[in-house]
């Protein structure tokens, strides 16, 4: 048992080391290459840059984008893992309750109204939270199993949000507004700046903290409420905390990045292959793996071609074939 624990802890440490290395490499990549040695010298307090332009690019453009990619990847992977535990469903993803659909509707409305970039983020975040509040209100009034009621309410509200987005796309100016809406819906970090990073940090930190603190208790959600109660756990309260925390980080992530599919579904499944299904190790490992995954995807997005590829396209190209491979392997996908 101790060897297993050490092995799982080693995987988490290895992921942390790989993430730090990926951040350093990512900081050096771009249209304006910056040597890693110069960056290390600058962070240590020495003058490592040849020009003020390199320092401005590093701290005002590249560093905020890389940190935001890590935050978004962490949030989506953590929310996906948490939802899969809460709903006991291997197909559960961060958008299962409609958070992404709500954010899409809010952002589309803001773009249609020609609002500035920060207001698009605010509209997306607010609409996402309102959508989840509506889903939970409807799910709480459903007779029978509350979990099934929540999922069904999420599907129905997501359908309404999708209809609203389609209608607004139809009403948008096809030459100027519509392309911006379509690009936002495909997911991108191209417009990242220090203000968008600041906007996302607080809600993500507030949502991630309970998931880490109560991660071992998520394992108890597989038990009946009576069994869990004998172990001193209030299942309803725990489930509410996990859902609210996952919703908050999903709303914050989607509001600054757009719709990025598959990361929250695939990363937890892949992480289980290395650390098992115990959330004591699965949650932190998924967070680190999600950050590493989305950071690499963003590096490919901004460096592969002269024009950036939306993140949603790349994650789908990678996530869908991987999930097909996963479900066709011998053994249960769960």
Tens digits of per-residue pLDDT, 200-255? 999 999 999 999 999 988 988 766 667 777 777 788 889 899 999 999 999 999 99
Structural class in CATH, domain 2-328: mainly alpha
Please tell me the distance from the alpha carbon of residue 253 to that of residue 213, in angstroms, as a whole number: 20
Q: Is the pLDDT of residue 270 over 70?
A: yes
Q: Is the pLDDT of residue 75 over 60?
A: yes
Cβ proximity of 201 and 216 under 8 Å: no
Q: Is the dihedral of CA 151, 109, 179, 203 positive or negative?
A: negative
The angle that helices 63-87 and 2-28 make with each other, rounded to 10 degrees, is 150
Cβ proximity of 172 and 181 under 8 Å: yes
- DSSP label of 306: S
Q: Which of 43-52, 175-184, 299-308 has the lowest mean pLDDT?
A: 43-52
Question: Which of 153, 98, 91, 102 lies closest to 125, judged by CA?
Answer: 102
Give the angle 93-95-96 at the CA atoms, nearest 5°: 70
pLDDT of residue 333: 59
pLDDT of residue 1: 46
How much is the average pLDDT of 86-113?
93
SS3 331: coil
Please tell me the distance from the alpha carbon of residue 154 to that of residue 205, in angstroms, as a whole number: 24
Cα atoms in the Cβ-side hemisphere of radius 13 Å centred on 69: 30
Q: Is the pLDDT of residue 305 over 70?
A: yes
Q: Is the dihedral of CA 244, 246, 247, 248 positive or negative?
A: positive
Residue-wise pLDDT tens digits, 146-177: 788 899 999 999 999 999 999 999 999 999 99
Taking only Cα atoms into account, the Rg of the chain, rounded to an integer number of angstroms, comes to 20
């Amino acid at each position: 048992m101790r060897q297993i624990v050490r092995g799982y802890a080693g995987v988490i440490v290895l992921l942390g080391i790989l993430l730090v290395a990926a951040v350093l490499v990512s900081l050096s990549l771009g249209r304006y290459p910056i040597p890693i040695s110069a960056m290390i010298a600058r962070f240590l307090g020495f003058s490592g840059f040849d020009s003020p332009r390199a320092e401005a690019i590093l701290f005002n453009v590249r560093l905020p984008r890389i940190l935001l990619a890590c935050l978004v990847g962490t949030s989506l992977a953590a929310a996906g893992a948490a939802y899969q535990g809460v709903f006991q469903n291997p197909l559960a993803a961060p958008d299962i309750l409609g958070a992404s659909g709500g954010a899409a509707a809010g952002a589309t409305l803001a773009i249609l109204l020609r609002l500035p970039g920060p207001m698009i983020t605010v509209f997306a975040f607010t609409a996402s939270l309102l959508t989840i509040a509506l889903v939970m209100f409807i799910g709480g009034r459903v007779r029978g199993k509350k979990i099934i009621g929540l999922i069904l309410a999420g599907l129905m509200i997501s359908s309404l949000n999708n209809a609203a987005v389609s209608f607004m796309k139809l009403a948008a100016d096809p030459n100027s507004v519509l392309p911006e809406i379509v690009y936002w819906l495909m997911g991108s970090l191209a417009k990242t700046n220090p203000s968008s990073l600041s906007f996302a940090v607080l809600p993500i930190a507030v949502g991630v903290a309970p998931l880490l603190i109560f991660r071992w208790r998520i394992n108890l959600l597989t038990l009946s409420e009576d069994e869990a109660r004998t172990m001193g756990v209030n299942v309803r309260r725990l489930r509410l905390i996990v859902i609210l925390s996952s919703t908050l980080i999903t709303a914050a992530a989607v509001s600054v990045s757009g719709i990025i599919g598959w990361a929250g579904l695939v990363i937890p499944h892949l992480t289980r292959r290395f650390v098992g299904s115990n959330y004591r190790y699965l949650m932190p490992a998924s967070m680190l793996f999600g950050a590493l995954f989305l950071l690499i995807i963003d590096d490919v997005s901004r460096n592969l071609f002269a024009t950036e590829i939306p993140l949603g396209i790349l994650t789908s190209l990678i996530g869908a074939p991987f999930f097909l491979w996963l479900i066709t392997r011998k053994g249960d996908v769960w």
